[in-house]
């Protein structure tokens, strides 16, 4: 049989790239998601909501996530076929969405169901998840609260914000198609604790403490935020990491820029502007803020001091923009006298790596 010449897997690679491009275009999630609120690290939640980092998944993983979403459609069809009434929209005809804390906290339900064989007269929040074989076995052995506390917290949030007091969790083993279901009761104390946690994150202008200061701590070792929390990586530059931005409790999840005295929509928040100045604690692994002032023209300037006493300024030229601070591969370059002299002599010069 004739062999088709290389490049091998070019079609597969093109499909993977398609998913990667779509993910890149999707940008950051605007709100603090109920699906995350049970995460063990409060700082992780704050950094995620403040767009400090966006995890880049490869195309294969993104396809896997999509397969999970396709399971939702399949199980809804199956529930209907066995006589369960499944509602994928609320009383206003919109997809089941819940919002809290000015629109900054919430999420989308997979649906609501009436007529489940276990309790036919009770409305249930629906939550569907796929698992690999190991995770599925753990779920069956321990139940959802112990095996998947984030999923359990997500359902508590949905129950509390919709007024339903039962949830039905349906999981699929991706390897065998085996199903597992579990009814979950509403826990009002836990719901209020989760709500309070979300509000604390939303109202905090600075990142909360680390779950551990040990870079080798097991929860930190595999965390996507590790380079920011325990290394010298400066966060992404956008309005959410800027000291001038504030969330507004307007019900629509709005944000304001105090520097420009204006509302900033989600699209604009992604790009930010040249006036971006890091929330100082986001750079604490690099240097400590020692001073801040307003320069002519209204530009803010923030002076930082590194561990060896050398200083740099996050500000308009000839100081370092936030983009330059993030780009600098070796952060000591920011405080290098020669580099600073070049920037003073050539105000358009930019640190690019």
- Cα separation values, 132 from 54, 61, 63, 186, Å: 24, 13, 15, 27
Q: Which of 162, 219, 233, 299 binds ligand SF4 (CB under 6 A)?
A: 219
Q: Considering only CA atoms, which of 274, 234, 280, 242 is closest in space to residue 258?
A: 242
DSSP letter (8 states) at residue 119? B
Task: Kindly tell me which of 63 and 289 has the beta carbon lying closer to ligand SF4.
Answer: 289
CB of 107 to ligand SF4, least distance (A): 20
Tokens read off for 214: 């040990």
Q: Which of 37, 75, 225, 313 binds ligand SF4 (CB under 6 A)?
A: 225
Q: Does 229 bind ligand SF4 (CB under 6 A)?
A: yes
Taking the C-alpha atoms of residue 345 and residue 230, their distance in angstroms, rounded to an integer, is 35
Q: Which of 19, 43, 129, 148 binds ligand SF4 (CB under 6 A)?
A: 43
Task: Kindly tell me which of 79 and 194 has the beta carbon lying closer to ligand SF4.
Answer: 194
How does DSSP assign 157-210, residue by residue?
HHHHHH---EEEEEEEETTT--EEEEEEE--HHHHHHHHHHHHHHHH-SSPPPP
DSSP letter (8 states) at residue 295? P
From residue 249 to residue 278, the character string flagging contacts with ligand SF4 as x (rule: CB under 6 A) and all else as - is: --------x-xx---x-------xx-xx--
Q: Which of 242, 283, 286, 335 binds ligand SF4 (CB under 6 A)?
A: 242
Task: Kindly tell me which of 37 and 167 has the beta carbon lying closer to ligand SF4.
Answer: 37
Q: Does 220 bind ligand SF4 (CB under 6 A)?
A: yes
Tokens read off for 202: 């939303």
Sites of contact with ligand SF4 (CB under 6 A) = 41, 43-44, 47, 210-211, 219-220, 223, 225-226, 229, 239, 242, 244-245, 257, 259-260, 264, 272-273, 275-276
């Amino acid at each position: 049989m004739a062999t088709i010449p290389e490049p091998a897997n070019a079609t597969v690679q093109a499909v993977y790239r398609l998913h990667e491009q779509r993910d890149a275009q999707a940008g950051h999630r605007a709100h603090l998601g109920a699906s995350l609120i049970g995460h063990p690290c409060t700082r992780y939640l704050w950094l995620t909501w403040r767009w400090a980092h966006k995890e880049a998944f490869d195309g294969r993983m993104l396809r896997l996530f999509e397969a999970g979403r396709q399971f939702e459609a399949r199980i809804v069809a199956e529930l209907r076929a066995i006589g369960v009434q499944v509602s994928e929209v609320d009383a206003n005809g919109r997809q089941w969405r819940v919002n809290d804390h000015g629109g900054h906290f919430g999420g989308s339900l997979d649906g609501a169901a009436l007529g489940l064989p276990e309790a036919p007269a009770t409305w249930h929040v629906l939550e569907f998840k796929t698992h690999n074989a190991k995770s599925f076995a753990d779920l069956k052995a321990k139940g959802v609260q112990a095996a998947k506390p984030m999923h359990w917290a997500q359902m508590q949030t949905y129950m509390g914000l919709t007024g339903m007091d039962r949830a039905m969790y349906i999981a699929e083993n991706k390897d065998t198609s085996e199903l597992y279901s579990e009814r979950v009761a509403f826990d009002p104390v836990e719901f209020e604790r989760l709500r309070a946690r979300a509000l604390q994150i939303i109202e905090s202008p600075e990142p909360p403490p680390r779950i551990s200061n040990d870079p080798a701590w097991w929860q930190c070792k595999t965390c996507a935020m590790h380079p920011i929390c325990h290394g010298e990586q400066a966060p992404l530059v956008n309005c959410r990491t800027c000291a001038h931005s504030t969330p507004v409790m307007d019900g629509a999840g709005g944000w304001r820029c105090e520097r420009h005295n204006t509302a900033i929509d989600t699209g604009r928040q992604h790009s930010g502007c040249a006036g971006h100045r890091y929330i100082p604690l986001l750079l604490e692994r690099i240097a400590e803020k020692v001073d801040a002032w307003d320069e002519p023209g209204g530009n803010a300037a923030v002076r930082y001091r590194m561990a060896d006493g050398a200083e740099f300024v996050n500000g308009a030229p000839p100081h370092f923009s936030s983009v330059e601070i993030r780009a600098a591969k070796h952060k000591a370059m920011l405080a290098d006298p020669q580099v600073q002299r070049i920037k003073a002599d050539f105000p358009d010069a930019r640190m690019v790596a």
